[in-house]
Structure 1
Amino acid sequence: MTKPTTKWWKEATVYQIWPASYKDSNNDGIGDIPGIISTLDYLSDLGIDVIWLSPMYDSPQDDMGYDISNYENVYPKYGTLKDMDELISQCHSRGMKLILDLVINHTSVDHPWFKESRSSKTNPKRDWYIWKPPRYDEHGNRHPPNNWSSYFSGSAWKYDETTDEYYLHLFAESQPDLNWENDDTRRSIHASAVEFWLKRGVDGFRIDTAGMYSKHQHFKDAPITYPESEFQPCKIYHQHGPRIHEFHKKLAELMSPYDVMTVGEVGHSTREESLKYVSEQQKEMNMMFLFDVVEVGSDPADRFRYKGFNLLDFKKAIKSQGEFIEGTDAWSTVFIENHDFPRSITRFGNDSPEYREISGKALALLQCCLTGTEFIFQGQEIGMVNVPRDWKIDDYLDINTLNYYKQFKSKNPNACEDQVNDLMTKINYLARDNARTPVQWDDSPYAGFSQVKPWMRVNDNYPEVNVKSQLKDKNSLLLFWREMLKLRKKYKDIFIYGHFEIVDWENPKVFTFIKTGETQSAYVVINFSTDNAPFTLPNKDNRLLISNKETSSDKLTPYEGRIYIFNN
């Protein structure tokens, strides 16, 4: 077994903050940077080493800040550049680091670069974005340049009357894709989005849509995946494109004078392709996010085309997400929640009052045993769950969900009640808004997030699920997370760097695996069912390191998990 090299960012626990929903300090109903600063001691006590701050840049907020109008300023409702400097300073004074979201596949239509680009075909910045002329059919009707679909429904092309051309937007119409083929564009991105913040002291970046910058320049029609749809998934023409590794090597070169961490949101790739991004010798990114686990049961091209999954599917997803690093110099990530996916207890545990806490502990135990850099999403540590099942479409705010619902209604104007209810069930289970409700700090009105009505509805269960009550309860999920993060670092040779092997593939209820370190190993058993489940221990001298429930039975109770340690 190849021993991985040790790095600070491999051993770090990273906590993702979604600023709008984290902590409101000035009672305007929107989270802000001073609110984040006020909780840094809480995060330090939890065991957090790095904060990943989701987009806080100036933005019209069509897509929660992923539509950036100025890389070098802060969205006013979140704070100021001075507040950002203070956040960086306060993190560093506690021995913590701060990384930002690097959103450089697209900007907002309100960015000055795009305003110039759309002004005329002869503007010097015209080629900073991707413009194409219309296609016309035999009847003279105008159509987009090709059949590519947007990730947010409909065509990936938006017609602009000013110059009688279309611009490419793989996401919202308000998010035009930058043209990375243009040298001037790349240099400006490097200066404005990267170097500006490195000079202010940030410690790295989570790189948004990291595989998408290099488009195939033929821009031909995508293959027909969904015959009933006019527009088709086009990932084969924009993911892992011909110059993507050239672009990332240059980004890494820019960052090389700084001791930073980088994690790229790649989502889907083969083992061979993954190693091109995160093998140490390639000198591109430190690690990457793959979506095998968070998308299990869904069609990767359309999250709401959901078919369901079982524990075997979950095991396969856990294995495939990290196995590309085995025997290589690459590194991986460990996560089961973020801002783009529903809450993990609802997805992989059980969010009923009876099992919410114990299944949350089972997932914490699992996650802290897996090899790679650990990522936790805000509220995960207290067991925040999906929104209530009675939410109507008007309760949701995310542009992806709303566009999808509108497209469904447009295509199916006579849809029966059962069809609409089926879609709403899938939205309730899978929508991005599930992760974006305000953090539940206490049981006061609005969950202690704010003293006024927040920008987004608070989850109804905040009186039972909140930070304040769990800090007082020695058996709480929050304190269990604290303990697991301590054990992860104490036994880092096993849990952070160890070899992972599943030993009960076909068991439909229990997930059993071994983590092998240099001198010791861990035997991990977790019951992912509501039944009592038998399990066997290896024929070795072993001791129980931790369990999420006080029991000594030879059967695992519902959602019980245990870790045993033995010498190699």
Structure 2
Amino acid sequence: MKSNIPHFIPRICYEIFVRSFCDSNGDGIGDLNGITSRLDYLQDLGVEAIWLTPVHPSPTYHKYDVVDFYGIDPEYGTLDDFKNLLSEAHNRGIAVYLDLIVNHTSTLHPWFVEASKGPDNPYREFYWWMTPEKIAEMGIDKRETSADSNEVYPWHDNPGDSEQYYGLFYSGMPDLNYDSDKLRIELSYIIHFWLIDIGVDGFRLDAARHIYPTWVNYNNQHFWWFFDYFVRNIKPEAYTVGEIWATAEEVAPYFKNLNSAFHFDISFAIQRILLSETDENLVQKLLTNYELFARYNPDFIDATMLTNHDQDRIGSVVRNNPDKIKLAASILLTLPGQPYLYYGEELGMLGTKPDTYIREPFLWSSSPDDDSTTTWLQAEFSTKKNVLPLSVQQFDENSIFNHYKTLIKLRKSEPALGQVLHPNIETVDLNDQEILAYLRPHDKRPVLIIHNLCKLSKLIYLPIENHYFGQLLFSSNKANSKTDNGWLLASYSSVILIAD
């Protein structure tokens, strides 16, 4: 079983879609220096690690189709800008995780440019090639769409070539073939460059379940063994978090070789709970999943989130209901795990697919002279009419921003809430499906959390074994109060209780 634990385990992480976060040079595009200029903001919010979406040269706005794994896209800055960002983040106690795309490249990558020249090219083995006849014979010409790819026909033509290449996500992203020892060596150079030469703290690993195509996907785990073996030999304390967009049963084996994995099951469960306004027996689901994860790695790190750059924003999921937006934050930030906030979530930013509209500019200021808000995309959802900018929310004690900031501070100050390894949670049964309650045990200072999921006020009576939780530590609504027999909770509100 895996035993390597990162030397620093952040309690609050923050995903930055680089192009949309902050513009430093007036070209309308978010960049590395823009992020550096806002590190004080992130530190003040309570963030301890940032995950940067891809920064490498790429022909697309999202940059998940890499042309050069060693470079920085000129739109975002230079390698020196990246080094400066890294240094300034570390000065503030903030770790930096690089989005590493190991599943595919761009068709413009020099490897593919060479591979596409013909079967005899030495780079041909870096990708998957097959004749249409062989593809048909194996029955792999079509695939079922999945949550992370809508591509039905993953084999693509290379003009003048008798073979097609495999690209799971689309024709511009040909999949890499790690049966090639030469490719594995190239990957090891890339890992060493970013971990040692540059000094990043770890990687967010894109499309981790798709390293090998479906007909040979039994090789996935061996690949991640190789990847982890190399990482641990050059930087044992490095952090790795995988994107495995699948059920907990499929995610669990990846903990053998990765420190962490995103918990998509719980992301979607929280969204459903907010819409149905009923508990889905969430705590028991978590306990079941934790038991499963621990079989593969007792020191697993559960990376939780409400949504990310591939999902409709939580603000739109709950139809821009500010109380439900706060409730979502209250649930995420009081559950176990290592929460990731998607940039702008702390403002209640909105957005639904297509993808560009869940990646709209961060709203820094209401001033017309604001030059840090990016302009590369005309926002349709997170406009200043629909979402209050940070400059406004910072001075409103009841804002979504200050709700997040208060909860983050509480999570970092309360040991029971901030525990990441060996998640601590117990069920509290209040016999009401419209109430979500749980205990975060701790040997010195346990806390009890209660969420009212519905639109009506609720009078809560604690079980006998929990009667000693009589002191209010946090309330999301001033109307919440203690009564003679229990607690009165306003609609869509939360309380955190400690012992008298």
Could you say which TM-score interval applies, normalised by the shorter chain? Answer: 0.7 to 0.9
Equivalent residue, structure 2, for 1:254: 230
Aligned amino acid, residue 541 of structure 1: Y
Cα distance, 1:274 vs structure 2? 4.1
The alignment status of 1:324 with 2:297, answered yes or no, reads: no
Once the two structures are TM-superposed, the CA of residue 383 in structure 1 deviates from its matched residue by 1.4
Residue 362 of structure 1 aligns to a residue whose secondary structure is helix
Q: Report the Cα distance in structure 1 between the residues aligned to 2:413 and 2:404, rounded to whole angstroms.
A: 14
**1:196 matched to 2:193:** yes
- Residue in structure 2 matched with residue 488 of structure 1 by the alignment: 411
Separation in 1 of the partners of 2:57 and 2:211?
A: 22
CA contact 1:59–1:68 (8 Å) conserved in 2: yes
1:28-107 matched pairs, under 5 angstroms: 28-61=27-60, 64-107=62-105
Match of 1:475 in 2: 398
Shift of 1:504: 4.3
Aligned position for 2:278? 311
Question: CA distance change for structure 1 residues 185 and 459 in 2, over 3 Å: closer, same or farther?
Answer: same
Q: Give the Cα separation in 2 of the matches to 1:458 and 1:445.
A: 18
Counterpart residue number, 1:555: 488
Aligned counterpart, 2:309: 339
Check if 1:544 corresponds to 2:477. no
1:371-397 per-position Cα deviation (integer Å, ceiling 9, x unaligned): 1112111001121123xxxxxxxxxxx
Following superposition of structure 1 onto structure 2, how do residues 101-500 of structure 1 map, counting pairs within 5 Å?
101-135=99-133, 146-149=141-144, 151-192=149-190, 194-198=191-195, 199-215=197-213, 219=215, 241-256=217-232, 257-258=234-235, 259-271=237-249, 274-278=251-255, 282=256, 284-296=257-269, 311-313=278-280, 315=282, 322=290, 324-325=292-293, 328-347=298-317, 349-352=318-321, 356=322, 358-386=323-351, 428=352, 431-445=354-368, 449-450=372-373, 453-457=375-379, 459=381, 461-463=383-385, 464-497=387-420, 498-500=423-425
CA offset at residue 7 of structure 1?
5.6
Matched residues in 1 for 2:261 and 2:382: separation?
34
CA distance in 1, matches of 2:357, 2:472: 35
1:195 CA displacement: 1.5
When structure 1 is superposed on structure 2, of 372-381 and 100-109 the one drifting more is: 372-381
Aligned-residue offset at 1:129:
0.3
* 1:292/1:321 contact within 8 Å kept: no
For residue 296 of structure 1, report the CA deviation from its aligned partner: 4.8
Task: Give the unaligned 5+ runs of structure 1.
Answer: 220-236, 300-307, 387-427
Q: 1:360 deviation in Å?
A: 2.5
- Contact preservation (8 Å) 2:14, 2:342: yes
CA contact 1:21–1:436 (8 Å) conserved in 2: yes
Cα distance change, pair 467–274 in 1 and its aligned pair in 2 (3 A): same
Distance 1:84 1:546 in 2: 39
Query: Secondary structure of the residue that 1:520 maps to in structure 2?
Result: coil
Partners of 1:298 and 1:131 lie apart in 2 by: 40
User: Would the aligned equivalents of 2:430 and 2:462 in 1 still touch at CA under 8 Å?
Assistant: no
CA apart distance, 1:23: 0.8
Confirm or deny: 8 A CA contact 2:243 2:262 kept in the other structure.
Answer: yes
Aligned 8 A contact 1:439 1:447 in 2? no
Query: SS where residue 177 of structure 2 aligns?
Result: coil
Quote the offset at 1:562 in angstroms. Answer: 0.5
Return the offset for 1:491: 1.6
Mean Cα displacement is larger for which, 475-484 or 257-266? 475-484
SS in 2 for 1:329: coil
- Report how far residue 434 of structure 1 moved: 4.1
C-alpha contact 1:291 1:321 (8 A) present in aligned 2: no
Aligned-residue offset at 1:94:
1.5
Contact residue 435 and residue 451 of structure 2 kept, 8 A: yes
Letter in 2 for 1:383: G
Per the alignment, do residues 154 and 359 of structure 1 end up closer, same or farther by CA in structure 2, a change over 3 Å counting? same
| CA drift at 1:28 | 1.6
Query: Partner letter of residue 490 of structure 1?
Result: S
List runs of 5+ in structure 2 lacking aligned partners: none
Give a deviation string over 1:200-227, Cα, whole Å, max 9, x none.
Answer: 01110011111221335xx4xxxxxxxx
Q: CA RMSD in A?
A: 3.0
Residue pair 1:513, 1:524 contacting (<8 A) in 2 also: yes
Pair 1:115–1:298, CA change in 2 (3 A): farther
Residue correspondences, number: 476
Give the TM-score of the pair, scaled to structure 1: 0.77
Using the size of structure 2 for normalisation, the TM-score is: 0.87
Alignment-derived partner of residue 234 in structure 1:
none
Q: Which digits, 9 at most, give the CA deviation of each residue in 1:24-43, with x for residues without a partner? A: 11222211111111101000
Question: Following TM superposition, by how much is the alpha carbon of 1:101 offset from its aligned partner in structure 2, in angstroms?
Answer: 0.4
Tell me the percent identity.
28
Residue 487 of structure 2 corresponds to residue 565 of structure 1: no
After superposition, the Cα gap between the structure-2 partners of 1:187 and 1:326, relative to the gap in structure 1 and judged at 3 Å, is closer
C-alpha separation between the residues in 1 aligned to 2:414 and 2:5? 14
SS of residue in 1 equivalent to 2:405 = helix
Change over 3 Å in CA distance of 1:186–1:34 after alignment to 2: same
Q: Does the aligned pair in 1 maintain the 2:271–2:306 contact within 8 Å?
A: no
- Tell me if the contact between 1:341 and 1:431 (Cα under 8 Å) persists in the aligned partners: no
